[in-house]
Chain A
Amino acid sequence: MAHPNQLTAMHGPLADNAAARRRAKRGRTDLWLKGAGLTAILIAMAMLGILIGSLVYNGYAAFTQTHVTLQIDIDPARIPADNPADGNYRATVNDALLAQLPDVTGRRAQRDALRILSNGAQYILRDRVVANPELIGGTLTIALPVSDRYDQLHKGYVDRETPETRRLVKNDEIGYFDVLIDKGLISKPFNTALFANADSRFPELAGLSGALWGSFYALLVCFLVAFPVGIMAALYLESFAPRNRWTDLIEVNINNLAAVPSVVFGLLALAVFLGWLGLPRSTPLVGGLTLALMTLPTIIIASRAAIKAVPPSIREAALGLGASKQQTEFGQVLPLAMPGILTGTIIGLAQALGETAPLLLIGMNAFITSPPGDLLEPATALPTQIFIWADSPERGFVSRTSAAICVLLAFLICMNALAIFLRKRFERRW
């Protein structure tokens, strides 16, 4: 385009004014469009940033847990050596804590001070002693979790400046806790309970192990059902099926199935798996089957694309060498299509891992305090555990929900990274 000054020279001042105005206006439209587009992208990026940022900000605290280190005298009078599981661990633990707080006297004050310890502390001690009965009669130094309120206090979520009446932890209680801090008994190690324990009513004891096992079993069932069925269906539709009304029907069906809302699959599972077949509620088996039905269209569509991408020359060469149709497909085409199929499968499984609504309908949101031992024991899954915790009122569950989400997102990122790796590493361009 000519330079504006040259145009001025050619057309005189009048034409220049009108043309320049028009050009400026056109340029403004362009700028406006660019600005709007950039703003839109920035908004989307900002939302992603806020989403991840708020989860990490709220969740990182849950990866540590405040503990108090106590010296515990394991008194044979309280804990019988012949039956250690039956001992009075509550009193044992409480005495050890009160021994560190000699200034606290009076029943009421002592009762308040004892709330520093988690309700689960006695069971942690019990499990230790039952595992090692020779501890009885000796002294054990052990770090025990403190209850949620003090965990929040120690992590700085309780503002000491707030008026006492509006604060979760009272002045006296902060005083007791500060004594323990001054003695160096309070520590904040990595929260192993988050991964080792199953769900609990007490945030300081609640963990994801039940949910992780439940999700693992459900995904296992989902994979074992959807992967072979999906490959066989895709191979049939792509390579063997005659082109007629029936195969068209199947095709339309699969495409529509991919668009059915997930909660409807939950209704199907509820009516068929639980209602008609009478499979047990809340179990990873039913959850896995439901997820398999949802993943099936994804796997079939991805597998068909991968099979279609194998060039016909491969098929023709195999057939020309005397292989049968099935030998060609299973022996030559399927191995070449496998990277694409696996990529689609992993992406489908990643979707299944994050799926919540159908699992709610089949009862995988129950309160279950032990990880499932097999496919037929009630369990939760990672996303349903997040849903349960998000509903819990305790402050500690907010950060644990965020932490659980971080764990879920980490799994999803790993699965998708694996899918991308497979695609990059094994994808062949013909």
Chain B
Amino acid sequence: MLGYLFLLVLVASVFGFFFNRFSARREMRRGVERFRSMDLYHGVHAVFLTGLPALLFALFFLSFQGAIVDAVLVASLPADAVGTIDASGMSLLKSEIHSIANGIVFGEPEPWKRDAAAYLNSLSTIAAIALWVGVAAILAGGLYIARRRVFGAFPARERVEAISKWLMIVCAVLAVLVTTGIVASLIYESVRFFERVPISEFLFGLNWEPQIPIREGQVAGFGAFGWIPVFIGTLVITFIALFVSVPIGLLSAIYINEFAGRRLHAVVKPSLEILAGVPTVVYGFFAILVVAPAIRNAAASIGVDVAPNTALAAGSVMGIMLIPFISSFADDALNAVPRTLRDASLALGATQGETVIKVLFPAAIPGIVGGILLAVSRAIGETMIVVMAAGLIATLTINPLDSVTTVTVQIVTLLIGDTEFDNPKTLAAFALGLMLLIVTLILNVIALNVVRKYRELYD
């Protein structure tokens, strides 16, 4: 249904474009008056007067239709039936009425629910008709006005350029809106979480057992929301990942940059790019299919006991994921060292290896550190590998053989299958998300500053 609406808008816009353009061309050919703007701009002007407002209207209407229909529906419900239920009961009731309206009936609902469902259906029909009529009216009005403006003195180009400039500004601001939206929604939900769980308990608590009380006044069921063990788990996995990726990434970058011949270069670079392009869900599956059993077998053969979801598996696979990341940053940093330093060192008789270790590497360290910090931020925010291969239970440990959980794992497991944001369990995910955002942003800002400072050094 909606598809046809947008098709209508599209067809009307295209029609308006050609209709206005040809009208302008005909007028020009008649030569009665000089035209300020080219025919093209009269066509685009028609699009901006028809498609654009119609699209905005439709999106605006659709955004608020659900809420308004629901409000009208709730107001119409019999007072004696809904007088006593609370917010969550109301949302349950609403979804029940919605499913009855869609023809999915469980058991024998009360007659007033059936009436409400019928009323809801009629409301939806009214809303759909209003939407179509509104869009059609805007399209017709826009076409009419645009056609009326096809005359020589009309500044079509100026109008079109003014509108398109505003469109561009809106698009650029949208990027800011996304950030604002992220921060606002995280803070809003986090504040609701901190109303239920004190912020000091969240930041400094040593227990993470997110649960919801099943009945009023339950003693043991409220759960604990201290994020320290979750954060420690994240750090453990991040550390393992760096332990794998930093030496391999760094050494391979040095080798490619300084020693490798053209043939090896041509093979290794694309392979690392492939490694970088593999989706993380694939790495996650690789971790549970290959790496975790391999680690278990290896540990069993030397008589060490490892947890089934050992942090080692998730961490080392994340390390593999980060190899191309580290190596490309090290590559850039080594390349950014001025040629003169390298030449001077070689001219003084240093070997290639000495030049790398004693001249190039120290000069490139800031860039490399920046890259490693960015890799840390990637590792902390990485989700799928740990969701698939790390544990779910938060234990306060730094033993890499144990099973640990991470911030992202908790966010995903707390939210999968849940839509109601009115209990500490789901809200906790947003608090974790806020902490994740803060930590990664700080790391990024530091890393970018380190890299920039260092670039200035040689510019």
A: residues with CB less than 8 A from B are 26-27, 29-34, 36-41, 43-45, 47-48, 50-51, 54-55, 58, 228-230, 232-233, 235-237, 240-241, 247, 249-250, 253-257, 259-268, 270-272, 274-275, 277-278, 281, 293, 296-297, 300, 324, 326, 350, 353-357, 360-361, 363, 365, 374-376, 383, 386-387, 390, 398, 401-402, 405, 408-409, 412, 416
Contact = CB atoms under 8 A, between A and B. Distances in A.
Given A240-B168, A271-B189, A30 B181 contact: no
Contacts of B72: none
A26 B354 contact: yes
Contact of A387 (B178, B374, B377, B388): B388
Interface in B380-417: 380-384, 387-388, 408, 411-412, 415-417
Interface string B247-272: 11111101110111000100010011
B279 A272 contact: no
Contact of B282 (A27, A297, A409): A409
Nearest to A26: B351
Choose among A29, A240, A241, A270 the residue with the greatest number of B CB atoms under 10 Å from its CB: A270
B179 to A, nearest CB: 5
B433 interface: yes
A51 B437 CA distance: 31
A375 B6 CA distance: 13
Contacts of B181: 268, 272
A27 B161 CA distance: 67
Given A41-B255, A261-B440, A360-B416, 14 more contacts: A26-B351, A34-B259, A44-B248, A44-B252, A44-B320, A232-B168, A254-B175, A261-B382, A293-B178, A297-B175, A354-B277, A376-B2, A386-B285, A387-B388
Q: Which of A40, A324, A387 has the most CB of B within 10 A?
A: A40
Contact of A412 (B172, B185, B277, B408): B277
Contacts, number: 259
Contact of B281 (A228, A300, A383, A398): A383
A271 B426 CA distance: 11
A50 B380 CA distance: 25
16 contacts: A31-B353, A34-B259, A34-B353, A37-B256, A39-B251, A40-B252, A44-B252, A44-B268, A44-B320, A259-B374, A260-B437, A263-B381, A264-B182, A354-B281, A383-B281, A409-B278
Contacts of A281: 419
B169 A236 contact: yes
Contacts of B377: 259
Nearest to B420: A275
A267 B411 contact: yes
A340 B188 CA distance: 39
B282 A37 contact: no
A45 B254 CA distance: 16
A58 B182 contact: no
B255 A257 contact: no
